[in-house]
Amino acid sequence: MTKLWTRMIAAAVVAWAAAPLSAETLELTSPDGKITVTVKDDGGQATYAVSFEGEQVIAPSKLGMLFAEHHGFERGLAIAGSIRASKDTTWEQPWGERRLVRDQHNELAVTFKPADGPDRQMTVRFRAFDTGIGFRYELAEQAALAGDVNITEELTQFGVGEKTTMWYTPSDEFNRYEYLTRVAPAGKVDDAHTPATFRNEAGIHFSIHEAALVEYSSMSLDQLRPGNFESKLRGWTGGPKVKTKAPFTSPWRTVQVAREAVGLINSDIILNLNEPNKLGDVSWVEPGKYVGIWWAMHIRDRSWGRDQIHGATTEETKRYIDFAAKHGFAGVLVEGWNIGWDGDWYNNGDLFRFTEPMPDFDLAELGRYAVSKGVRLIGHHETSANITNYENQIEAAFDLYQKVGVRQVKTGYVADAGDAVRIDENGIRRYEWHDSQFMVRHHLKVVTEAAKRQISINAHEPVKDTGLRRTYPNWLAREGARGMEYNAWGTPPNPPEHEAMLAFTRMLAGPMDFTPGIFDLKPNERAPLRPDMPRGDPSNRPETTLAKQLALYVVLYSPVQMAADLPENYEAKPDAFQFIKDVEADWEQSIALAGEIGDYVAIARQGRKSKEWFLGAVTDEQARDLSVPLSFLDKGKRYRAQVYRDGPDADWKTNPYAMVIEEKLVTGGEAFAVRLAAGGGVAVRFIPVK
Ligand code: NOJ
């Protein structure tokens, strides 16, 4: 044989080996058969696609991963095997928006190998539920991934379609997750945090997010070709995106799918894709309602730091404890109690001392006083995102709180995105992102250190929620969006549509400590308490009616719900306050009944203790007539409905306090009709007639 022939045959063999032996297509369908995932290896490219009732939701989109020091999984791949499984179980949440959660799904684990060699493999495990799909990468221990594995890119794409409408917040700006929801054709969006919510041209709603974000960095969506996003992992400063070792798994990438927008809310995919409780007996985790020395700071009645109007004094805290005890609140949050707040605390994270109270705050006495009244102090650790400073004190800090009877701590990471301080092993100051692997690790450290002392966590300026409350049930809530505080000083404040947006976007991730219940709706119009401390801009105010403030307790789920306003403002409106006293924060069941993204939403929830049902509905700047079926009540059974609705002439701007409180007899199964004012809402408690 001539040399040329030998070379030609060799080339042909290589070409034959490099191309997939035969392109393969695998399909996975949801238990109800409506959702289909299609996995292929055409042209050596691993792809998946998602359809709903035969209509495309995610076009064929790439899968893959690249590493710094190892060969990645990108081209020349072939499906080398697959395994199927199905599951239908029901598990119980210790607290939550529903007690029993059904996990019913079909599973397909697909292993890809390079067509030119059997020595490397990547498995992508898909799960199809009736309300959407999830998939994750699983990289087994293997010689080809020996040693440290540094992920430089995850190549997952989401072909959502250029003209699909997208509701999102930007992912690369300074204010972390705290942006108003934007809406645009997907093809026009540069980058987005998840959950991002979509409605395609066929009218199908879907949401892209992730579940079980552990030992990995957070994913945002980065536009490639119009309508096609790639997962963008938040890297370490000066390092890779993720530092890991095989074996490892990525978080689940999720696509919730529903015909109607409310179907997205009525999905448990995120929780179902998390690991079961790792903490064992968590009867010490206490959901509940709380008040606190908090809004007073935001409206400049009080200060966090040491001056004449320091909020966290022993005397003032006792006033709040007495108020909480009198009205049945479980906790009293106190901010500004420790050393570090004086001066520019936003930029002074190095100064916080988590075991040193200010001289005018007697922590031990207040812990005792609270418990004697059947209330608990809620602790506060503002770190200004100096993580090393906090971690250096964390054990002592939680020991102290445990000693004085604190069962819940609110943490805070105020700092610009990308400014979380990490002092490295050489003492060099580094700055990391709030959604980086570094912060993912940090939050879990806080949650597990707290759990050792039977303390629960409510993180502000957090990394986004991905359902880890299932695995760590002491992780009660997070902020991670614009909360009520923006109505005190945010310019602009949250617009009337804000909460009807959150319900279909941020809230799909998990509970939010939004802190509702402001009764003085024009806080910045009052005379300042101190001439040198003028109030904020009077145009900053909650752009809601009073009835809507009440509705938020049902609409925006959190196991810890604050009654955020000042005690005197509640005492001035005892009738409205009664709803906040009656409503529960822990639920047996929750059902989103009706709504459209950013327009309105109506949600019903059944209290876990009382078994009473509550209904909350909110609208945007449009007044609207709402009619919702009382399908959640026992059919034909009579109930006394205590209704808190907008008055006939209510309007968030001109007449926010006009509210009708009335009791009506209603029957399970019938329709409940009510008018919501512009920026308005309705809150209802249903008591069965004996
Ligand atoms: C921002 C938090 O969201 C807010 O609730 C808190 O009062 C301040 N940081 C101070 O920690």
pLDDT in tens, 375-391: 999 999 999 999 999 99
Q: Is residue 412 within 6 Å of ligand 1 at its C-beta?
A: yes
CB count, 10 Å around CB of 411? 23
pLDDT at 470 over 50: yes
Q: Which of 178, 298, 335, 346 to mutate to test the pocket of ligand 1 (most atoms within 8 A of CB)?
A: 335
Burial profile 15-25: b = 16 or more Cβ within 10 angstroms, e = fewer: eeeeebeeeee
Residue 380 alpha carbon, nearest atom of ligand 1: 11
Q: Is residue 482 within 6 Å of ligand 1 at its C-beta?
A: no
Percent of the chain with pLDDT over 90: 94
- Rounded to the nearest angstrom, the distance between the alpha carbon of 457 and the centre of ligand 1 is 14
Considering the entire predicted model, what is its pTM? 0.96
- Rounded to the nearest angstrom, the distance between the alpha carbon of 603 and the centre of ligand 1 is 28
Look up the CATH architecture of domain 275-479: Alpha-Beta Barrel (3.20)
Cis peptide before 247 (omega within 30 of 0): yes
Which CATH number, 3.30.160.100, 3.20.20.70, 3.20.20.80, 3.40.190.10, labels domain 481-522+538-690? Answer: 3.20.20.70
- CA 411 – CA 433 distance, rounded (Å): 17
The tokens for 470 are 């299932």
User: What pLDDT is attached to residue 22?
Assistant: 59
Residue 515 alpha carbon, nearest atom of ligand 1: 5
Q: Which of 348, 354, 382, 494 to mutate to test the pocket of ligand 1 (most atoms within 8 A of CB)?
A: 382
With H, G, I as helix, E, B as strand and everything else as coil, classify residue 611: coil
| Single-letter code of the amino acid located at 418 | G
Q: Is residue 183 within 6 Å of ligand 1 at its C-beta?
A: no
Q: Is residue 460 within 6 Å of ligand 1 at its C-beta?
A: yes
Contact (CB, 8 A) for 518 and 548 = no
Contact (CB, 8 A) for 614 and 591 = no
CATH topology for the 2-272 domain:
Beta-galactosidase; Chain A, domain 5 (2.70.98)
Contact (CB, 8 A) for 667 and 595 = no
Contact (CB, 8 A) for 363 and 378 = no
Catalytic residues: 485
pLDDT at 541 over 90: yes
DSSP sequence for 310-340: BS--HHHHHHHHHHHHHHT-SEEEE-S-BTT
What are phi and psi for residue 194, nearest 5 degrees? -110, 155
pLDDT at 9 over 70: no
Nearest to 32 by CA among 121, 119, 102: 102
Nearest to 276 by CA among 471, 510, 101, 474: 471
Using CA atoms in the order 542, 545, 548, 552, what is the torsion angle rounded to 10 degrees?
20
Q: Which residues of the chain does CATH 3.20.20.70 include? A: 275-479, 481-522+538-690
- Rounded to the nearest angstrom, the distance between the alpha carbon of 291 and the centre of ligand 1 is 14
Mean pLDDT value of segment 356-376: 98
- CA 459 – CA 500 distance, rounded (Å): 23
Contact (CB, 8 A) for 77 and 41 = yes
Reported as a pLDDT band with limits 50, 70 and 90, residue 3 is very low
Mean pLDDT value of segment 45-51: 98
Alpha carbon nearest to ligand 1 atom 2, residue: 460
Mean pLDDT value of segment 26-44: 98
Residue 298 alpha carbon, nearest atom of ligand 1: 7
Helix axes 387-403, 363-372, angle to 10 degrees: 50
H/E run at residue 683:
strand 681-688
31 burial (CB, 10 Å; 0-12 / 13-18 / 19+) is middle
CB count, 10 Å around CB of 690? 5
- CA 248 – CA 246 distance, rounded (Å): 5
Mean pLDDT value of segment 554-564: 98
Beta strands 191-192 and 182-185, pairing class = unpaired
User: What pLDDT is attached to residue 605?
Assistant: 99
- CA 482 – CA 479 distance, rounded (Å): 8
314 burial (CB, 10 Å; 0-12 / 13-18 / 19+) is middle
The tokens for 617 are 């509905």
Residue 294 alpha carbon, nearest atom of ligand 1: 7
pLDDT at 263 over 60: yes
pLDDT in tens, 156-203: 999 999 999 999 999 999 999 999 999 999 999 999 999 999 999 999
pLDDT at 23 over 90: no
- Rounded to the nearest angstrom, the distance between the alpha carbon of 412 and the centre of ligand 1 is 6
pLDDT at 8 over 70: no
pLDDT in tens, 319-359: 999 999 999 999 999 999 999 999 999 999 999 999 999 99
Q: Is residue 485 within 6 Å of ligand 1 at its C-beta?
A: yes
